[in-house]
Structure 1
Amino acid sequence: MDIIQELCKKYTDLTDEEIATIQGMSAVLQPLANLEDADIFIDCPSWDGDAIVVAEAKPSYVPSSYKKTVVGLLARKENEPAVARTFRLGVATKQMKAVTQENGRTIQSVEPIRNATGDRVIGVLIREQRVDEQRQISERLHFSEQSYERIANALAHMVGSNNWLTECIDEALLMVDKSGVVTFRNSLARDLYRKLGYIDDPLGQPYENVRLVDSWNDMDQSGFSVIETTVGRHSLSIKRIQLDSEDMAFAVVIQDLTWKKEQEKALILKSVAIKEMHHRVKNNLQTIASLLRLQVRRSDNEETRKVLGESMNRILSIATTHELLAQSGVDQVKIGEVILNIKNNTVRYFARPHFDVNITLEGDDFEVDSDIATSVALIINELLQNSLQYAFQDREKGLVRIVVTRGELYSRIEVIDDGSGYDVENVRTDRLGLSIVQTMVKDKLRGTLDVESGPGGTHVTFEFKNQIMDAASVT
């Protein structure tokens, strides 16, 4: 009994005939994974309403999203909405975000697999591509040119008895025989030619009547050629792959890049707008901080100067975050950069003669969105201010450690000093700094706060929920 049969018998209600259908389809997953540069899976519905992974194929030429096999693991509805939708509705679902069994982020496209009579969905074919490794179109085309042989081999598996596989790729496919006639096309090719204004189906026509480019370059030398062209309002990438076949001369794979090109332009415009927005916010905050600095210099009251100085530092901590966001042009920023900038600002403000404080940053570095970054900046600012202001009085040296640990669902930041400590049970409840920390952790970060302090120093730990990925709309 092979693994597919064993898993289906144990976790599903599929019949022997339906299991055989799944087994037959699993044999051609590897060519599809290599063609699409994607992880390919077959999931079957389990007894408990979720799905179980019964077969997989990892791409041979690009990194997989998975370090280990996921065959035999459950696919939860809440993590893979595309899979759940296809099982529920029995229709294909394209380009939806998902969370893998290893908590990675991927983009899923899912096709239903039906039984012989077509009245029941017995599984789904899943294609997953990594979100964090979106390659430029030019890079993908260059890579394909160097590897046209594996594309030709994959296409050879897709015709004949495995025609259903051609409906699982996101590209239009034409197969041209030795006499120059289009003898096969998938449904995407038919629909694409309709969008381009062709009335007749390309199937059965001479390729010369339906070709979209004037000439091909370097076909004789490599057996592979690729051209980017524009037809009307559509941007297309057209690949021609020579086939080593008795009947077929070559295949033509057409990818409609129109939407991607438009999205690239939109992202550039959005990046510029984000940079400008964060730049203006930063400038406004720095202006406010400058006004507070003037008030500090003019005031003769020490308590007033102290309060204004603390407020100025808080504003500058937020301004620092917006400065980093303005430089990146996106709504994500490295948490290590945020903390380092806050550390440097705080050290400059609290510098005093004959006092040497060493503040270290340890642990993980990862990207967070602007809301999390701003909240973390304020919290770190308050905790460092508290340490430098109160923990090392009458001392010439001090150590503060900031430790960042990234978790699967929650991340943790610890601020540890070797100062004099204090009684956490008798802290004044009206202290603004402590109130800011508690409010930020609880309300903004939806996390937890823990404070331990004694003669050997103070240890503050706060956890915050990592950014949650929303499911994308179906396209």
Structure 2
Amino acid sequence: MTLAEPLLKTGEFGPGDSEWLHLLVGDWQMIADLAQGDLVLWFPEEFLSSERSGRGQGGPAPDAGFSGMAHVRPSTTQTVFHRDMVGLRMSTQVEAAARACWFDQATQFLDRVDWNAESTMRVVLYPLVRNGRTVALLSLHHGEQSGRMQGRLDTVFRETAREILSMVARGAWPDFSSSNEASRGNPRVSDGVIRLDAEGRVTFASPNAVSVYRRLGFADALTGHLLAELTRDLLPAAEKADETLPLVLTGRMPWRGEVSTTKVSITFRAVPLRRQTRRGEERFGALLLCRDVTELRRRELELMTKDATIREIHHRVKNNLQTVSALLRLQARRMSSPEGKQGLEQAMRRVATIAMVHEALSQGLTQNVDFDDLINRQFHLAAEVASPGQAVSTEMTGEFGHLPSELATPLALIINEVVANAVEHGLDGESGTVTLDGQRAETGDGQELVVTVGDNGVGMGVSYIEESGVSAYRPTSDGEGLGMQIVRTLVASELKGSIVWRPRAGGGTEVVITAHIPEGSVDRT
């Protein structure tokens, strides 16, 4: 069951309400860490519309309870629920307060709740109100052992959590304009917490936040400083900070930012804090999370450098292979023997096929190849090169998808040889059509790719030939060229598959090639 499903079934809530709940659940780990307690999202098991409830808004039926829709545990303290609360019913001790919370739209505080005889806890129920309607309930759970405050850090954390939960109850947070950027290195509560006043002055900094600024070169206490000005002074004179950074470091906008020096990279995330006044929502301060991502960015840079190096290697291999292909073409032009000329042209075609795979690899960040794009060009080229003076048309169907490079190169060579063979021997100098089809299917340990090359030529009678495994390594038979020996060898050794020559329905011949794609290399995008 998704968050949207129970809301939209009622007919009283729109997509905006369910999307807001998705934003909340996607970001409420921060609240659980600050509050140092479990958070659970609840919705009535049976919902009555506003017309049937007679209360001016829809809500739980008289005898209905509440069911858990989402649950998050804190990473800053011990959880109070060892079972996941999603799909479970709310404790009967809390249901009366939950109904009052829903309809009165007022926060409910409950002490010493014996939750289904599992543990004793303190519970706070918040109504989540949007556009004057309660859309769900949010409960905060603390174990009794967590009642003692451990110091100023815990006090500030829980006070900040109460302020954010108050905004959540009013529907003022999360804001749809907030950045939902999912880049690596987003700061968390455990990384560093800074509290700002309305002017952007530091009123509190956690020990981890102080350590972050020590790495930037500031060894004094942060409290009392205007954080935006302080950070700007710590950056090198030549460093150009993001123009949005001051808005983040003053807590004016719910955005993310990053500062980098030659030695340190720090990410920031701002959560403006607002309270309800007679003039509406008024900002009175902000929560700022910060994180040292120096090592993370260093690893990312190393990966980018390695990727660039690998792409450059593929590019140079492609250039070298194209040079070899050009040299073979020049040599073929000087050959007087038809057999020698044909052999060089075939070698040139095979080298060019491998070069196309390396060209595709040089243009991407992964070692996977968009085989549909590659083989579409190669298929038409192979048929054209093998049919001088013939009117041969080509048709390509199905989908190959992305393939690992160790599979793409031999498969491209195999298709190249089979298509050339279909034109030269299947059509036997006559006009006709060569088809290519690719289909993928799930198997127990990966996927299977089935490639079919067909022609509407003279056919092979009733013959049926299948090659797979070690049988493909047999000596070349009479009348079989080097191309077919290459095909059989690559199918067995590189594709770990099989190849079948058989009569084609409607006349002609079709060749069916089966290749195994290992689980670790299957592209899921």
With normalisation by structure 2, the TM-score equals 0.51
| Structure 1 position 437 matched with structure 2 position 487 | yes
Q: What does residue 470 of structure 2 align with? A: none
Q: Tell me by how many angstroms 1:194 deviates.
A: 5.2
1:230 aligns with 2:260: yes
Matched, 1:463 2:515: yes
Superposed, 1:8-407 pairs within 5 Å as 31=24, 33-34=26-27, 149-150=173-174, 171-176=191-196, 182-183=203-204, 185=206, 189=209, 192-193=212-213, 195-196=215-216, 205-206=223-224, 208=226, 212-213=231-232, 216-217=246-247, 223-224=253-254, 227-230=257-260, 233-244=263-274, 249-259=285-295, 261-263=297-299, 265-266=301-302, 268-328=304-364, 331-353=367-389, 355-364=390-399, 366-405=401-440, 407=442
CA distance in 2, matches of 1:348, 1:464: 29
Cα distance between partner residues in 2 of 1:287 and 1:340:
23
CA contact (8 A) 1:448 1:464 kept: yes
User: Which amino acid counterpart does residue 493 of structure 2 have in structure 1?
Assistant: D
Query: Paired residue for 1:416, among 453, 461, 475?
Result: 453
| Pair 1:322–1:57, CA change in 2 (3 A) | farther
8 Å contact from structure 1 (residues 359, 400) kept in 2: yes
Give the C-alpha shift of residue 321 in structure 1: 1.4
User: 2: distance between equivalents of 1:190 and 1:218?
Assistant: 18
CA-CA distance at 1:252 after TM superposition: 0.7
Distance across 1 between alignment mates of 2:247 and 2:188? 29
For 1:192 and 1:411, how far apart are their aligned partners in 2?
A: 50
- Structure 2: distance between partners of 1:36 and 1:316: 54
In structure 1, the partner of 2:13 is: none
What RMSD in Å do the two structures reach over aligned CA positions?
A: 4.8
CA contact (8 A) 2:466 2:501 kept: no
Aligned partners of 2:325 and 2:348 also within 8 Å: yes
State the Cα distance separating 1:451 from its structure 2 match: 0.7
Measured at CA, do residues 218 and 326 of structure 1 come closer, stay the same or move farther in structure 2, by a change above 3 Å?
closer
Which one-letter code corresponds to 2:517 in the other structure?
K
Structure 1's 269 and 56: CA in aligned 2 closer, same or farther, altered over 3 A? same
Superposed CA offset, 1:148-171 (max 9, x none) = 9417999xxxxxxxxxxx996685
Residues 437, 403 of structure 1: alpha-carbon distance in 2 compared, 3 angstrom cutoff: same
Q: Tell me how far 1:184 sits from its aligned partner.
A: 6.5
Counterparts of 1:293 and 1:356, CA distance in 2: 24
Letter in 1 for 2:484: L
Moved more, 215-224 or 411-420: 215-224
Residue 395 of structure 1 aligns to a residue whose secondary structure is coil
SS of match in other structure, 1:212: helix
1: CA distance, partners of 2:338 / 2:383 = 20
How far, CA to CA, are the matches of 2:334 and 2:261 in structure 1?
69
Post-superposition CA distance 1:308-329 (Å, at most 9, x none): 3322211111011122223446
Deviations 1:83-126 (A, max 9, x none): xxxxxxxxxxxxxxxxxxxxxxxxxxxxxxxx999xxxxxxxxx
Matching residue of 1:10: none
CA contact (8 A) 2:191 2:208 kept: yes
Structure 1 or 2, whichever has the larger Rg, is 2
Q: Can you give the 5+ residue segments of structure 2 that lack an aligned partner in the other structure?
A: 2-20, 31-37, 39-67, 73-85, 88-142, 146-170, 179-185, 234-244, 277-282, 468-473
Offset at residue 330 of structure 1 (A): 5.1
Q: Is the 8 A contact 1:148 1:224 kept in 2?
A: no
Separation (CA, whole Å) in 2 of partners of 1:379 and 1:116: 70
Change beyond 3 A, Cα 1:151–1:365 = farther
Kept in 2, the 8 Å contact 1:213–1:229? The answer is no
**Mapped partners of 2:218, 2:368: distance in 1:** 44
SS of 1:150's partner is coil
CA contact (8 A) 2:432 2:457 kept: no
TM-score after normalising by structure 1: 0.56
Judge conservation of contact 2:187–2:289 (CA < 8 Å) in 1.
no
> Structure 1, residues 422-459: CA drift from partner, whole Å, max 9, x if none?
334499951433332233233323x3214141263213
Change (3 A) 1:425 1:243: closer
Q: Which runs of 5+ in 1 are unaligned?
A: 3-27, 43-53, 59-70, 73-114, 118-146, 155-165, 471-475
